[in-house]
Chain A
Amino acid sequence: MCAAASLFCLLLAFAQQPDEPRPATVSGRVVDAVSGRPIPGVVVTPAGAAVPLTATNPLPPRALTNGQGEFVLRGLRKGMVFFTAVKSGYANATYNQRRPGGSGQGIAIQDGQRLNGVEIRMWRHASISGTVLDEAGEPAVGVTVRAFEREFRAGLRRFLPSYSGVTDDRGVYRIANLTPGDYAVGIRFTQTAIPTEAMDVFFGASGGGTQEQRMRLSRELNEIGAPIVPAGSHYALALGDQTFTLAPGTLVPQQDSRGGLWIYPTVFYPAATVLSQAGVLTIKSGEERASIDFQVRPTRAVRVSGTVMAPDGPASNIGVRLLPAGVDGGVESWEVATTITNSSGDFTLPAVPAGQFMLKILQVPREPVDLQDSSRVMVTPGGTVTIGTAVAAPNSAPPSPPPIPMEATLFAQVLLSVGEAEISAMVVPLSPAPRITGRIEFEGSNDKPASFQLTGIRIDLDPADGSRVSQEIVAVHPSHPEEDGTFRTLGVSPGKYVLRISNVPAGWTLKGAFSGTDDFTDVPLDLSKRDVTGVAITFTDRPAELSGTVRTGQSADPDAVVLIFPTDSSTWGMRGPFPRRMRTARATKTGSYALQGLPPGEYNVIAVHEDTFADWQDPALLDALARVAQQIRIVEGERKIQDLTTAVIR
């Protein structure tokens, strides 16, 4: 072909710089994993060292598959490339994935290579649909119905919030984008009432409060998810000195002749009040599960009120939440009712259904509001956007994260049994919440990180039981070390936690967070009563590494996944949602695998095909795997090689 256009080829050869690598090209097809049919309209995005990026083009070009599901990506260079395939209606996929949501593989690319025939398989999403009617058989309109996927977390079965659907004018909902698994389905109804004096800061007759008061209150209202609405509008009802919010998607309560409120309580399909009692739907890939219908019924609610007392007096304008008592099976408990205290520290929850609850209050020390920041972006009702012209100097360093305040976080947790009678005059004292302090240490000869890298290290406190509840509820706020290498976390609700460290500086690996011989990135830390001090978060430049090759029969097995977990079965749970000693690694195309940064200890290691099991953190499965796994010992700083043979799990 080049002969026909030899002059062109010659010019091209001259134009090519001698040391400039020739670009590589990858082409292929995206197909439905079940039917094998090509999927058009898929966006395929490359990532990895094989994708050259520049300051002016910081993102790689993407390919859109044509009617035959085909794509081509040019301009790659030597290195690994990882593909992500995205199309609505399908689970995101990567190359050589064996099940939806499973692990994929990268492809090694050489300069000038033309790699054809790359096939990416995608699995269709499943859906759950149904109808929500009220007690009169009328459609419940605009109501959010959420699916919860059941997974093992820290050795326990827990429900994680997944996708949701919103009912239409017929009460019909449809939750799409579901991957195969076990699901519960529920509708949340949270009763939110705000002291009218607080709403007056926004809507008061005398002009409301100052900008600073509004911003401070907005922050507190946002923390409890309360809308800012005036009583006397379509979005709120005046109930005594409270503004009871009726945000869109709220089922309107009924007022009886005695002024009592009948509200709709949270419900899980088919008619449970907590997730742990919900029915479980097992959904297959691409399944359309219909007729998951709800009929919601109002229940009489009573008023619960009291005063929140901080050590120095009444606690004004802080969030008060009422949650189901005990474990409800989910990693995110839905509030039954929320409010904030008024300027005298008093709170009122005007509509609480009967039941057992936990009243939770967490007062986190806050930064002063930034009045300058408030006017930078403005959206007008017409949909136009106005942003500030102010610019930062182009070469200025990124701002450091705000320091964790010295002031204590205050908390209260009170069990509450609500029946048919009003509860009043509760006095809820706040106590200082325990926190962790310590320092950052580096073991090794590599250059110590710059101060901005140090302050970029993120420190999270994860509940050891895997109930990674949203920040609004227990305020497991990330912390950052100071430039002098010391750190402190915010106070947290009493309980057992493990430390999770991320944004680790380049060239360093986490060794652990030590107090004596205990490593609190692994062993749960009891933060029930008092602060824990002197914790050394330690990084090393000699991390332990486990690597090897997986074989099946005589040949390398590129489809294997290597699982590693402790031999001591008592440590398979209560190690937080991301246990450091339980890891997986997908084999490469040549069957090799590698795992870095494992803490020293005794481990089971096994290679399997991941489409042969569902949730590998299920203790029953781990028990079965342990019987056929190889036992190994990892020593600090060791580079261990361990070849494996793929095991067959039945």
Chain B
Amino acid sequence: MVRFASRSAVVAIALLTSIAGAHAQSRDRASSLGTATILGTAVSYEPEPRPVRRVRVTCTGSGFAATAITDDRGRFVFAGLKAGRYTVTATKDAWVTSAYGAKRPSRPGSAIPLANGQTASITLAMIRGSVITGVLLDYNNQPAADTSVSALRYVVQDGSRRLSPVASATTDDRGVYRIYGLAPGDYFVGAAARAASLGSTSSELRLLDERRGTERTVALASTYFPGTPVATQAIAVTLGPAQERDGVDFALQLVPTARVEGSVTTTDGSPALAGTQVNLIASAQTTFPGTAFGALRSARVSTEGTFSFVDVAPGTYTVLARGGPPLTWASAEIAVDGENVTGLSLGLQPGMTLTGQLKFDAMRLKLPADLGSMRVALQPVQSQGAVTLAPSGARIDASGRFEITGILPGRYRLTASLPGLGRPGNWYLRSAVVNGQDTIDMPIEIRPNELIRDALVTLSDHPAQLTGTVQNAAGGAPNEFTVILFPADQALWLAQSRRIHGLRPSADGAFSFSVLPPGEYLLAAIDDVEPNEWFDPALLQRLVPTAMKVVLADGEQKVQDIRLGGGG
């Protein structure tokens, strides 16, 4: 038995993931030699505000990023700032992260414009996080200990609305869980049945029926409050500010499991080599949010070319066999509902290949001396499965040619990696064209037996930029709006598109979108919007009538103001 967990790379990975947004906020020590200052106080958001101590406050902007800690009176200071625009956010364990100028908790703040020598005094109002607590039981109404319970919210991800964990807690030996630090809002609560870890096998679990003396194979299902394994039947828990909601009790459900069996043959029809790998990949809908590592199971085919998975819970799955090297593959989509699935026949066929050329469109940067550290890769666009398989990235030869082998059918974006890529003042990936289609904007479908030649990846050092200010009819600068930039072509209204952006203007109404590819855009301002809601085509459709058209040429630095109530 493992008695304690040693430190591991998990810490680093988890933090690296959670601070992905901070990645672009590179710290520049030289730039912090200015004369402006931000003085602030963090206070509790309540009728009689109190100072909040030991808050981690960050100040970012104008190539500068720093952290301060509030003292016992809630005070903090950022001194020596150069003239520019700065965003201030505050966080403390069990409190809701808040940004200066945000309309509501968890919403983006607005930047503070600072002139040389200026001192801005600000107050950051913070709310204590809300709490969901309850008891998790097992199917026998006994405490379910050591089980992860998550507070979940719907997010738009890869173009579809999915539940995503916001915070989680582990039940103690009494089955008690307590999820804290939650912003006000609606949450779904779910308990993840302990899934097999990535690639591991599982065995049948048999339960003896007390009355009939018969046995059935079962598994504990991931269950949502008030007690359903089906996410769409979950009931939301509504939290107000700093509210503690107790009694959110529910019981894990038991579901029937089944076997999935079949055989794998090679390209000439003979049984696949013993040891050929077969994966069972649960669909995203079948996988509890945030537990993708448990969505993949592995087996090896026997000397007769057969394979078997037991203990398969109800849901939809992809069975994928992989032979080689070089890679051969076969797959089948199946639905499991307590009945054994047998007789699957998978015939291996060759993996696909893509070749292409890398090109630099340089106006001011020198070409990288060594292309050896660059990679071109096919990035799978998530669709059904919680686990996706991607071919290895390809190195680029001295002439810029590359070849990607071992491709499975699916939807992909072609991407390139280079240190600093996409940051202001650096190279950016302008296009990655496959079969005449820019895959960065619109993923391509790679089909079985397809051979793709002449892909073209272009890196440029002169992205377009759009800046401006939001002004009201009286000439004021209303910063409570969010400015949305999106492509005029509705076909490009896809999740996480590089052409769709939303941001809060600074306190003086100024906004700036940098590192943009050329094209026709629409620009609009909206009163209140959830972060990333701007990827929702329905919202963009509503904005079209009031949006103004902006055409950006390659490398153009355009200024376009927004006048509210009057047009541009």
Residues of A within 8 A of B (CB): 27, 40-41, 43, 45, 54-64, 66-68, 70-73, 88-89, 92, 125, 127, 134, 136, 138-139, 141-142, 146, 160-165, 168-169, 174, 176-177, 196, 202-212, 218, 221-222, 225-238, 246-248, 251-255, 372, 375-395, 470, 472
Contacts and interface: CB of A to CB of B under 8 A. Distances in A.
Nearest to A390: B392
A238 B27 contact: yes
B467 interface: no
Contacts of A230: 19, 22-23, 25-27, 65
A228 B16 contact: yes
Given A162-B3, A229-B19, A386-B380, 6 more contacts: A88-B145, A161-B4, A210-B419, A246-B67, A390-B325, A394-B300
Contact of A141 (B26, B56, B94, B169): B94
A617 to B, nearest CB: 18
Nearest to B173: A176
A160 B142 CA distance: 31
Interface in B289-318: 289-293, 295-296, 299-303, 306-308, 310
A319 B340 CA distance: 54
Nearest to A256: B71
Given A168-B178, A391-B327, A382 B420 contact: no
A73 B392 CA distance: 45
15 contacts: A67-B210, A70-B208, A88-B173, A138-B54, A169-B178, A169-B180, A169-B181, A176-B172, A221-B12, A232-B64, A255-B71, A378-B390, A386-B387, A386-B388, A391-B277
Contacts of A136: 53, 72
B202 interface: yes
A207 B373 CA distance: 13
B142 A381 contact: no
Contacts of B215: 72
B274 interface: yes
A162 B308 CA distance: 38
A90 to B, nearest CB: 9
Contact of A384 (B72, B292, B418): B292
Contacts of A164: 4
Contact of A71 (B63, B180, B208): B208
B164 interface: yes
Given A387-B296, A391-B324, A204 B392 contact: no
B20 interface: yes
B56 A234 contact: yes
Given A211-B373, A254-B69, A394-B275, A232 B15 contact: no
Among B303, B388, B406, B408, the most chain A Cβ lie within 10 Å of the Cβ of B388
B420 A206 contact: yes
Contacts of B456: none
B542 interface: no
Among A72, A204, A236, the most chain B Cβ lie within 10 Å of the Cβ of A236
A248 B168 CA distance: 14
A391 B322 contact: yes
B389 interface: yes
Contacts of A378: 390
Interface string B182-213: 00000000000000001001111111111000
B145 to A, nearest CB: 4
Contacts of B207: 63-64, 66
B429 to A, nearest CB: 14
A390 B323 CA distance: 9
Contacts of B13: 379
A50 to B, nearest CB: 16
A391 B420 CA distance: 31
A389 B19 contact: no
Contact of B8 (A88, A161, A207, A222): A222
A230 B274 CA distance: 48
Nearest to A176: B173
A188 to B, nearest CB: 11
A207 B419 contact: yes
A209 B373 CA distance: 10
A63 B16 CA distance: 41
Nearest to B380: A386
A384 B380 CA distance: 11
A378 B387 CA distance: 10
Contacts of A176: 145-146, 172-173
Contact of A254 (B17, B54, B92, B426): B54
A226 B18 CA distance: 15
B243 to A, nearest CB: 13
Contacts of A40: 140, 142
Contact of B292 (A255, A379, A472): A379
Interface in B260-280: 273-277
B423 interface: yes
Among A205, A252, A387, the most chain B Cβ lie within 10 Å of the Cβ of A205
B6 interface: yes
B67 A234 contact: yes
B69 A208 contact: no
Contact of B290 (A139, A174, A383): A383
B145 A89 contact: yes
Interface in B20-79: 20, 22-23, 25-29, 53-54, 56, 58-60, 63-67, 69, 71-72
A383 B292 contact: yes
B473 interface: no
Among A41, A136, A377, the most chain B Cβ lie within 10 Å of the Cβ of A41
A206 B30 CA distance: 13
A228 B307 CA distance: 42
A234 B202 CA distance: 40
A383 B164 contact: yes
A389 B406 contact: yes
Contacts of B206: 61-64, 72-73
Given A62-B205, A234-B58, A385-B296, A205 B390 contact: no
B516 interface: no
A71 B201 CA distance: 22
A635 B295 CA distance: 55
A45 to B, nearest CB: 8
A366 to B, nearest CB: 15
Contacts of B15: 227-229, 235, 247-248
Nearest to A27: B208
A234 B91 contact: yes
Among B275, B327, B351, the most chain A Cβ lie within 10 Å of the Cβ of B275
A222 B301 CA distance: 37
Given A57-B203, A389-B351, A393-B325, A232 B290 contact: no
B459 interface: no
Contacts of A61: 203-206, 310
A62 B58 contact: no
Give the 3 A-B CB pairs with smallest separation, nearest first.
A207-B420, A232-B65, A394-B275
Among A62, A196, A384, the most chain B Cβ lie within 10 Å of the Cβ of A384
A299 B534 CA distance: 48
B363 interface: no
A584 B299 CA distance: 38
A255 B138 CA distance: 48
Nearest to B378: A389
B218 interface: yes
A210 B372 CA distance: 10
Contacts of B3: 160-163
Among A127, A163, A228, the most chain B Cβ lie within 10 Å of the Cβ of A228
